[in-house]
Amino acid sequence: MAYHLDKIDIEILKMLQKDSNRTTKSIAAQLDMSTSPIFERIKKLEKEGYIKKYVAVLDNKKIGLKLTVFIGITLQGHTRSYLEKFVKEINNFPEVVECHRVSGNFDYLLKLVVEDIEAYETFIITKLTLLPYLGNVQSLITLSTGKETNEIDLSSVL
Amino acid sequence: MAYHLDKIDIEILKMLQKDSNRTTKSIAAQLDMSTSPIFERIKKLEKEGYIKKYVAVLDNKKIGLKLTVFIGITLQGHTRSYLEKFVKEINNFPEVVECHRVSGNFDYLLKLVVEDIEAYETFIITKLTLLPYLGNVQSLITLSTGKETNEIDLSSVL
DNA sequence: ATTTAATAAAGAATAATATCCTTTTAAAAT
DNA sequence: ATTTTAAAAGGATATTATTCTTTATTAAAT
């Protein structure tokens, strides 16, 4: 039987996806509760998989990875085994942070984070175009980013 | 004068962007150091902005947000003030997790996380299409996601 | 309505970690 | 060689996470 999120769980998730270093004490204070139920709820949310992990969010640009690129890709073949192989290969490329199979004008949409245009081109030449069955490839180079977060909208849940 | 990252800093960042709940003790052990320099380095990485924040990564689907959509948008006008207004409006939409100004076939690329197709359509009708100067709008509906992370490739840095 | 059972919260005690401070080491510069 | 600087080590303290026990609340059953 599946565990169901209640209003308090949602509030906890909202806080933790904004700042996971919040202490149980501070969360408890905000929700007018004691620390134990907060602690237990968080543990349950982790165990049940609602919280997948805790990570540090880095400043890409400051660290030297100044370029984000989206790449739309169409494939020439669409056999199941090939699609799986394609995704598997893509997963080995550390520059690729996202890979989505999509409907619409492309088969796949990739998101890359790299140092600069040169690193991008190197990726295309030495990695991407070596994959077989590659069809059309169209890149969207990011000029500026107006919003970039991982925070999902929990207000619509429940 | 800017602070410069050395090999140890990079190693710390690698660990923390995989799992920010690692204790300084555990990081220190892995790097064969004592806890104090690790602690001080982390504080410096935070203060200098290399680490922007710590967040919990949630399981979108499990929580009920089952659909990711990318939307390519072209605008009819391109005055500076309008572009700024556009981004500002977009920032108020909690469904939108990313908004990039791009070169290529679109002016903007958005990433949305919503409950389902219905929520997506509601967004389009009640929010997106109300924005003025909107040109072409093209959606890529995610069918499946082969990779989705925030981990950037630090092996290329330094 | 009353009792029972089950669940969640509260409160207190302990263990582990973060945080701070002082000392030591190592490296660089004079 | 000596001085100066920065980083690391080591230890002490304050917070927090974690565990356990008790209390309260709710729902179910009689």
pLDDT at B79: 85
**Closest chain A residue to B88, measured at CA:** A146
Q: Which nucleotides of chain C does any protein CB come within 7 A of?
A: 8-12, 16-22
The alpha carbon of residue B10 is apart from the nearest alpha carbon of chain A, in Å, by: 9
pLDDT at B1: 46
Tell me if A70 and B145 make a contact (CB, 8 A cut-off).
no
Q: Which of A97, A100, A101, A148 to mutate to test the interface with B (most CBs of B within 10 A)?
A: A100
Does the pLDDT of residue B59 top 90, yes or no? yes
- Alpha-carbon distance B71 to B78, whole Å? 18
Does the pLDDT of residue A1 top 50, yes or no? no
**Closest chain A residue to B87, measured at CA:** A146
Closest residue (CA) to C1' of nucleotide C12 is A36
Tell me if A105 and B21 make a contact (CB, 8 A cut-off).
no
Domains of chain A: 7-47 (1.10.10.10), 61-141 (3.30.70.920)
Taking alpha carbons only, the member of B152, B58, B138, B64 closest to residue B105 is B138
Taking alpha carbons only, the member of A57, A60, A27, A63 closest to residue B20 is A57
Does the pLDDT of residue B66 top 70, yes or no? yes
pLDDT at A2: 60
Q: Does strand D come within 7 Å of the CB of B64?
A: no
Tell me if B100 and A70 make a contact (CB, 8 A cut-off).
yes
Scanning every strand, the nucleotide with its C1' closest to B37's CA turns out to be D8
Taking only the tens place, the pLDDT of each residue in A20-49 is: 999 999 999 999 999 999 999 999 999 999
Q: Which candidate from A57, A90, A157 shows the least CB-CB separation from B146?
A: A90
Does the pLDDT of residue B23 top 70, yes or no? yes
Burial of A82 (0-12, 13-18, 19+ CB in 10 A): middle
Instruction: State the pTM of this model.
Output: 0.95
Chain A residues whose beta carbon lies within 8 Å of the beta carbon of residue B157: 63-65, 115
Q: Which of A11, A15, A54, A92 to mutate to test the interface with B (most CBs of B within 10 A)?
A: A54
- Alpha-carbon distance B135 to A55, whole Å? 38
Tell me if B156 and A65 make a contact (CB, 8 A cut-off).
yes
Taking only the tens place, the pLDDT of each residue in A66-121 is: 999 999 999 998 788 889 999 999 999 999 999 999 999 999 999 999 999 999 99
Chain A residues whose beta carbon lies within 8 Å of the beta carbon of residue B105: 138, 140
Q: Which segments within chain B are labelled E, that is strand?
A: 51-58, 67-75, 96-103, 108-114, 134-148
- Alpha-carbon distance B122 to A87, whole Å? 31
- Alpha-carbon distance B145 to A87, whole Å? 9
- Alpha-carbon distance B45 to A153, whole Å? 29
